[in-house]
Amino acid sequence: MTRTFQGFPRISVNPAVMQGKPCIRGMRVTVGMILGELGGGTTIDELLAGYPYLEREDILEALRFGASLAGFRDVALVAAE
What does the pLDDT read at residue 1? 84
| Total tally of structural domains belonging to the chain | 1
In a domain, 79, yes or no: no
State the chain's maximal CA–CA distance in angstroms: 59
| Best CA proximity match to 59, nearest among 8, 2, 1 | 8
Question: Which domain CATH number covers 14?
Answer: 1.10.10.10
In a domain, 48, yes or no: yes
Q: Could you give the angle at the alpha carbon of 35 between the alpha carbons of 33 and 36, nearest 5°?
A: 65
Range of the domain at 59: 3-70
What does the pLDDT read at residue 20? 94
In a domain, 77, yes or no: no
What does the pLDDT read at residue 79? 84
If phi over 0 gives left and psi between -120 and 50 gives alpha, with beta otherwise, what is residue 52? alpha
The yes-or-no verdict on residue 80 having pLDDT over 90 is no
Angle, helix 31-39 to helix 56-70, in steps of 10 degrees: 90
The yes-or-no verdict on residue 75 having pLDDT over 80 is no
Quick: pLDDT tens for 11-56: 999 999 999 999 999 999 999 999 999 999 999 999 999 999 999 9
